[in-house]
Structure 1
Amino acid sequence: MITIFLQAAAPEGSMMPTMIMMGLMFVGFYFLMIRPQMKKSKQEKNFQSELKVGSRVVTTSGMHGRISQIMEDGIILETLSGKLKFEKAAISREFTQNRFPDNAPETK
């Protein structure tokens, strides 16, 4: 079996089909993986910048609360156990919209 591979002649074609295939793979990765992740990240940043005092939110760790104060370096959440300070990045758009759909901004 190995002798068949050893006796086969080396391909004498150009590298163009290989380069086209690699280019198509990159384009596929971009549209299937990179672009949707960038879109999701942009939506998350938009959501965090539009937070208002009094909105009910859920953090990425699952903490439920109402925003009582928005500061430059974070937010203060009022929960049943008291007030806690979180980074804005800790607020999850996906969890908040699943739990409190009435707070969801209108989609265009």
Structure 2
Amino acid sequence: MPTTVITILYVVGLLAVFYLAMYIPDRSRKKKFNKMLEELKVKDNVVTRSGMVGQITNIQDEFVIIQTGPDKVKIKMKKESIASVENRKSDNSK
């Protein structure tokens, strides 16, 4: 009987370790992503998850408008579709 209890505790312990090994990095990744979305500003150059590159021209509650291409095409998309901010334009630049 004690061997069964030890085996069950071993399996539960392994499952807990695997769960924490996957949960903690994912939680920190989500935290960094949400912080990036909160810090979005007009004139930030961004890359979307689909690989589109553009500059933010307007920010709404859950949407952003991105200007892209030489024809200055404007695209409205959800904030969550932004993968990264490439380089921020400083307020001092002209």
Asked if TM exceeds 0.5, the reply is yes
Q: Which has the larger radius of gyration?
A: 1
Q: Please state how far the C-alpha of 1:41 moved relative to its aligned partner.
A: 1.2
Cross-structure match for 1:7: none
Which residue, out of 75, 80, 90, partners 1:84?
A: 75
Partner Cα distance (1:86, 1:79) in 2:
12
Structure 2 residue matching 1:39: 3-state secondary structure: helix
- Whose strand proportion is higher, 1 or 2? 2
> Structure 1 stretches (4+) deviating beyond 3 angstroms?
none
RMSD of equivalent CA atoms: 1.7
- Give the TM-score normalised by structure 2: 0.79
Unaligned runs of 5+ in 1: 1-11, 104-108
- Whose helix proportion is higher, 1 or 2? 1
- Give the TM-score normalised by structure 1: 0.70
Alignment of structure 1 residues 1-108 onto 2, 5 Å: 12-80=1-69, 81=71, 82-93=73-84, 96=85, 100=86, 102-103=87-88
Aligned length: 86
Q: Which protein has greater RCO, CA pairs closer than 8 Å, 6+ apart? A: 2
Structure 1 residue matching 2:42: 3-state secondary structure: coil
